Every structure is written in C-alpha cells, then in structure tokens.
Amino acid sequence: MDRTPLLPDDREIISTEVSQCLNPDCLQINLGDLDLCHNCQEKILLANRYRGLSYIGAGGFSYTFKAIDEHRFQTPCVIKQFVSRQLNPASKQQAIDLFQQEAAILKNLGNHPQIPDLLAFFNYKQRLYLVQEFISGQNLLEILNQQGRFSQEQVKQILIDILPVLEFIHQRQVIHRDLKPSNIIRKDDGTLVLIDFGSSFQFSQEFLTQIKVISATPGYAAPEQIKGKPIPASDLFGLGATALHLITGVMPSERGIDLASTSLDLIWQKAEVVPNREFNYIISKLLQPKVSDRYQSALEVIQDLKKLPSPLESTPGKNNVSTQSVNSNTLILTGTIEEKESFDCSKLEQFLANQDYLAADRETWQLLLHIADRTVQGCLTLSSILELPASALQQIDRLWQKYSNGKFGLSIQKEIYQNIATNFQGDYLIWQKFAEKVGWYQRSTWLKYSDLTFALQGKKGHLPACCIDIFSRHNLDRGGSTWWRLGFIALLDKLEQN
C-alpha cells in the first residue's frame, strides 16, 4: 500500500466552493475559487499553489487554516501562518525561532504514520508559512464530548497506540510539551495521530541546561515543565493526565494534578470510577510529581501495559485465543481477534517450496494483515500486534523454517536477537547489532527493502523481513527506527505465548 500515490483517493479530493483569504488583517471568506479576495484584493493562492478553505483556529503566535494543494490534485493540507502582532522585537524573534523550530522538528521526524508530514516551509510576502498533512478525523476531546467517558480498556489501547510515537520522538531528542486529548486525532481507520508540535523543541545535553520558554497547557503539564525545565518524562506526565481526563470525563484543574496532596484513589472515587489495580498503578506512576518516581521512558510504560489483562474489567484468561486445526495449512481463529474465516497458508507454502522468497515475504505480510483485520489499513499498530494469536505466528514460522532448512523464520530471528541482547546494553545498539547480524544493516547503512537478499544466500535470520519497517518496502529512507523495533520485538514475543 503506497502512502504517496500519484493520484489521491477520491475521498481526499475537496471541491472549492469557498476561498479563505490568508491576509491576517482580512481573513475574509470568499464564495467560489476566486483569484483575489473581494475585500482586500490580495491574491487568494498562497505561493501560487495553496488555496485556503476555512479558518481552523489560533494558537500561540499562529493562525491555522484548512487548505488544498492545487499542484497535487487539490489534496487537503493544513497551513499555519506566523502572526507577530503586538510583540516587542525580542519576543518576536523568540516566537519566530519557535515557529521555525516546529518546521525543523517535523522535517527531522520524517515520514511517520502517526505524525503529520511537513509538506513545505517558506517565507511569502514577509510572512512565514508552514504547510503540513491534513489529518481527517476527530480529536479525543471531541470524541469525549460526544460519546462520554472512555473505558479503562479503551484508554489502555490509546496508551499502547500513542506511547511508541513518544518513544520515536524522544529517540530523536524531541519533547512534545503539549500532550492532551485535543492533540491526539483518531483517524477514520482508527489510527491515532499526534499533532501540534508548535510547543515542541529539540533538546541536547547543552540545551537542557539553558533557560527555555515556558510552554504548557495548565492541568496537563508536569511540575518541572511549568518551571521551564521539560524532559522526555514530562510528556509521559501529560499522557497520564490525558488518560485520567478521558476516564473520568473531568478536565484537570488549572492548578494541575498533584498526587502529593490529593490521592489518585480520591480522584477515582469522585468520578465514580473503579479502576483495575494494576491500571491504577500505571496511571499513578505516570503522574508522579517527582521525576525520579515517574516512568523514565515510554518503553517502561508499554512493558507494564502488556502485563495487564484484556479486557481490564474481566478475569484473566477470559480472552485467550483458541484454535482448531483444519489441515496442515489452515487454522480457524477465535478469541482476542474476532472470529474469522479460515487462515490459509497454502500460497505461502507454495512460494517457499519454490524458493520465491520475495513473494513469500509479501504473502507473510498479507497474512499478518488478514489475521489482525488490518488489510484495508495496510499497516499494523502495536496494539494489533499484541492481539495476534501465537498459533498463527507459529504456523507461519514453521513453514519458513521447513523450506529454508532452518535458516529463516521468526523464531530464528528471536534466538539471534536474544543472544545479542545478553552481550550488549542499550535498546538501539542491540537493534543495530541484530540488524548487522541478519544483514539488514550493512556498512553503517539501513538497507532498503529492494536491497535485501531474497534467496538462501542471505544471512541466517535475514527473512522474513516484512515487519522491520513497512514503509521501507517503498524504498523510503527511514532507517531502523525505534517505532518498528518495538513492533518487531512485540511480534517475536508472541511466538512463545499459548
């Protein structure tokens, strides 16, 4: 599934019945796709390309507009315009630096499926503009207001889906600084997207010692962030406050959440919520005022969430996956993943028997999507990986081992990874050493999918490679990001489960 097709889906093309003037002193709505604003006579098309459609809102020192890119078949996008009214020179320069930093951060974060893409950044008529991908869907605050409080199980899934994004940006020395329900959008396909990097900054050891602009939403910000000293764990506090808001339906007080003076048990009691004990522990640890008492990384939170029963309100074991063997290559799946039609491995076995390893790798990916009920979306989320039945993965693994004489397979990769993990420290270093061992990382370069060896001559554990990074299959330079390491390791962990 190519994320950047030549022609966009028909649902992504927007007709222009109105045109929004982008002159900050006008902001007039014009009927039709005019060339000039009928009020101020300024050109409607920004940089002769982007047509504003409607005003979304203002935040910090910017206006935000929904727009279309007329050079890309009217593909929707979002325009952020820097506005510096009534700022003294020093404050204006500081605001400009923050606006430019947002663009630089989005560029450095690259093409991540849960972060809006940066499409353009430029100066036009002495005004700064940032153009980014438009995310269709509703933010979690809107969903909360429409549907009411979220269940603990729903919030657990939100945490599992968004924590890898935080780990991804933290690995790239980025702190979001504004985690809250309105900055997480649920797309139409259910994927969660983290938006609004306007308060974010790129940190370094030297930068952490400098005085920074205090940027925070009252109620969601960690104590150290309010003091102007944010760290990656500050984002985890914001995520904890977001989870608490979604479960209780009560927006955090502007004074913030202070578990030192008000116990979490009292907050649950007032909201008439009876939390699962382990879940209560996770939320409490996310919201600890002292950094040393809080989770230190998103990975730590994910590990604790994986231990929780699913669903949280039920007794352990209720949702265990059961399987019924039909023949050597077919399984009927019920349980955690909804009851499905037969899971057919015959095509995979045929490809492997013929040593057509490229076709086998692609078929493995399609089988995983089918089992996870993610064929339409074309991608796996961490939560969907955690729900995959071990029996299906074991069946796929046995076929890979059988037709490669024990050279390829998920269990082969798991053994190699575990051996490396005992000799090295540091998550990324282990991942890189593993990639070197199986041949995905060579001469200080992460190989593109087309550069892999789809033959028995490949290194032991070289295949299957369909899950290392789904976008590398289209030869995009993304590297061995933490995001895909998490998914891959979660997949390997499922092999030994019953």
Residues forming the active site: 178
CA gap 449, 466 in Å, rounded: 9
The two three-digit tokens of residue 313, written as one number: 């309100």
How many Cβ atoms are within 10 Å of 359's Cβ, its own excluded? Answer: 16
234, 149 Cβ separation under 8 angstroms = no
Enter the tokens of residue 123: 């100066």
Residue 144 and residue 158 in contact, taking contact as beta carbons nearer than 8 Å: no
For 284, phi and psi rounded to 5 degrees?
-60, -40
Residue 309 neighbours by CB distance under 10 Å: 17
Is the separation of the CB atoms in 395 and 371 below 8 Å?
no
Distances from the Cα of 211 to the Cα of 96, 223, 234, 414, angstroms: 17, 15, 16, 45
Say if CB 472 and CB 487 are below 8 A apart. Answer: no
Q: Return the beta strands (E) in 282-420 as ranges.
A: 322-327, 330-334, 343-344
Element (H, E) at 185: strand 184-187
Residue type, 55: Y
Within a 10 A sphere around the Cβ of 9, how many other Cβ atoms?
8
